[in-house]
Amino acid sequence: MLRSYLTPTLKTFFHRMTTADLLQHLENWDNHARADQIEPDLDWAIWLLMGGRGSGKTRAGAEWIRERVAWGGCRHIALVAPNLSDGREVMLNGDSGLLRIGYPSERPQYISSRRRLEWPNGAVGHIFSAEDPDSLRGPQFDVAWADEFCAWRHPDETLSNLRLALRLGDDPKLVVTTTPRPIPALKKLLQTPDLVISRAKTSDNARHLAASFLEAMAQTYGGTRLGRQELDGDLIEDHPGALWTRHVIDAARIAAAPELSRIIVSIDPPTTSGPKADRCGLVVAGRVGEGRDAKAYILQDGSEQGLSPEGWARRAIALFHTWEADCLLAETNQGGDMIRTILAQIDPNIPLRTVHASRGKITRAEPVAALYEQGRVRHVGQFSELEDELAMMGSPVMRGSPDRVDALVWAVSHLLIANTASPRIRGLF
């Protein structure tokens, strides 16, 4: 029955396929690959896949090479690994390696004595080690795959020689797959023209990973800087001049807060509304102890962009009731009377304290950053966007208004520096 629907070309295609080929066809890469694993439909010279451990970036690189050889007419391929052992064990023989994917009848043969791959259609590939950048001087290629770039011993020199060797064909291309690390070579690569980036988390590939592995990784690295790097594929770095370092932020993290004597919702209201307006900073924080022994606990970052004045007022009041807070704390430099009026219209009984900024944002933030270094501020959980803002505060890379940080600074200053409120014990559940 099936044969009557097959064109002559398809009949020939299926006739030549072995049983192993047919089984592989049922698991065709294009049928189950994620969007981040498919070549971007853009004009690019370098495709950078940054992903967490086990996110499927190696499979994406191998499949891209396979497809280029099978359908793209590429005949000279460079495969660059941190070392030759990784090249053999990961890029070739690993579960996602070139010797394990695609139709068996079209897979290459590996000649180990020459570090050479030979495909049935005549394409040839060579494995190179980033430990020996000079080995890339002389050869020339039309495509290349560079794996675990951030683990290379000589990333700048190796990448430079590799790019100079990509000089065959009409449109030579390079795919780079790596778990990110804040090394200078990666930062430089990110500034390269004609670069496109795909990102993936370890959890995106959960259906191909053992549940015990995912659970162990979450328990070991969840909520840490290393976890965001190794599992989420985020590039996490310290910025020169920033008031907070990632180490200090990570050291402040705890799983749960103790009984708190005071809880407040801090508001850094935007001066305008709409999708392009500044974000309304909304941070919930609490305190334990008094005087120099007091500690502050960041409980929630509820900041949001695009809210109308009534919208952020309602959100602040909702947080107040959710956390059974003692008061709202609002900066009133812009529209102080308006803030009081809007909040009173929604809930006239809401307790409101106001603060007025007489100093710049950096100056206000400096003593709060010092409190972090003294171990007097704790983050109950992970607040990625807030922590990214903290890590840029005071550095040249800071852009726009740090609304989340402003709200946090007002909250911590009120709880630990001003420390004017009377205590009221309440537990967190």
Band of pLDDT at residue 378, cut at 50, 70 and 90: very high
CB 398 within 8 A of CB 270: no
The CA-atom distances, in angstroms, between 416 and each of 251, 284, 314 are 19, 14, 27
CB 225 within 8 A of CB 235: no
**In 323-423, where does DSSP find H-type helix?**
336-346, 361-373, 384-392, 403-412
Band of pLDDT at residue 421, cut at 50, 70 and 90: very low
The string of pLDDT tens digits covering residues 317-326 is: 999 999 999 9
Strands of the sheet containing 352-355, edge to edge, are 253-254, 377-380, 295-301, 281-288, 262-268, 327-331, 352-355
* Of 79-83, 188-192, 208-212, 232-236, the least confident: 232-236
Amino acid at 110: Y
Average pLDDT over residues 232-258: 85
Q: How far apart are CA 280 and CA 409, in angstroms?
A: 14
Band of pLDDT at residue 365, cut at 50, 70 and 90: very high
Exposed, middle or buried by CB within 10 Å (0-12, 13-18, 19+), for 274?
A: exposed
Looking up tokens 């990666």 gives 186
Structure confidence at residue 17 (pLDDT): 57
Query: Domains (ranges, CATH) in the chain?
Result: 2-220 (3.40.50.300), 246-418 (3.30.420.240)
